[in-house]
């Protein structure tokens, strides 16, 4: 669960896949894909309409069915292809339904997170810490070791502690829904930003 093929293709030709930079704004590969889909459906219906009068409705129903079924198929395909994997390659993080709240007191910070994790393989435990991209404060967060159920998706509630590195603030707080994580297993680290 890194970047999509469309993201990689846009970066390869030197264009940001997002209109506002880093994962914000309109997602250009999706817009381009929808345009290709519309042109394909219209073109196919024009070619085959004389032989098959109901082709347009069938193509639209087929496209809607494909869009509805595709996420289910790809998620289960990940579970199948990574079934016997271990280490950081078997674990993935999704920003969807993940968020963190933080409260500071003197130089310490308490971070309450809801993290959406996928264990595609056989891994039983990992070390994890959130990556909070706050332009105002920088945190040094202590990682936690957590246990995982193999071949499972879970939405975990966790509490992390750390310290503020660059500010002298008596107290502050905030909420982030664009949180990343760093996972580690046997000295190998993987970042999801």
Domain segments of the chain as ranges: 5-81, 87-192
Which whole-number Å values give the CA distances from 189 to 39, 88, 105, 126, 129, in the listed order? 43, 7, 29, 10, 11
Gap between the Cα atoms of 86 and 190, Å rounded: 13
Look at residue 59 and tell me whether its pLDDT is greater than 90.
yes
Topology of the domain covering 87-192: Immunoglobulin-like (2.60.40)
Higher pLDDT, 23 or 184: 184
Task: Find out whether 132 and 149 touch, Cβ atoms under 8 Å.
Answer: no
154-165 mean pLDDT: 88
**Which stretches does DSSP call E strand in 43-151?**
91-105, 108-119, 125-131, 139-141, 144-147
| Residue with more model confidence, 187 or 167 | 187
Q: How confident is the model at residue 42 (pLDDT cuts 50, 70, 90)?
A: very high
Give the span between the Cα atoms of 18 and 36, in whole angstroms: 18
Taking residues 79-105, what's their average pLDDT?
A: 87
pTM given for the model: 0.70
Residues 6+ apart with CB under 8 A from 17: 3, 6, 7, 10, 11, 27, 28, 29
Average pLDDT over residues 46-52: 91
- Higher-pLDDT residue of 137, 125: 125
Q: How far apart are CA 121 and CA 115, in angstroms?
A: 18
């Amino acid at each position: 669960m890194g970047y999509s093929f469309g993201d990689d293709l846009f970066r390869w030709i030197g264009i940001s896949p997002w209109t506002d930079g880093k994962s914000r704004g309109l997602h250009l590969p999706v817009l381009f894909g929808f345009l290709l889909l519309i042109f394909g459906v219209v073109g196919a219906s024009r070619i085959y309409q004389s032989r098959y009068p109901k082709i347009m409705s069938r193509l639209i129903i087929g496209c809607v069915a494909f869009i509805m079924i595709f996420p289910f198929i790809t998620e289960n395909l990940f579970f199948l292809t990574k079934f016997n994997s271990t280490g950081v390659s078997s674990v993935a993080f999704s920003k969807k339904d993940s968020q963190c709240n933080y409260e500071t007191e003197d130089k310490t910070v308490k971070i309450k997170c809801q993290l959406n994790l996928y264990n595609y393989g056989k891994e039983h435990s990992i070390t994890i810490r959130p990556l909070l991209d706050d332009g105002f404060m920088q945190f040094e967060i202590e990682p936690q070791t957590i246990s995982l159920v193999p071949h499972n998706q879970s939405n975990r509630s966790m509490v992390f502690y750390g310290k503020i590195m660059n500010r002298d603030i008596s107290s502050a707080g905030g909420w982030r829904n664009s949180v990343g994580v760093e996972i580690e297993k046997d000295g190998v680290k993987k970042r999801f930003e």
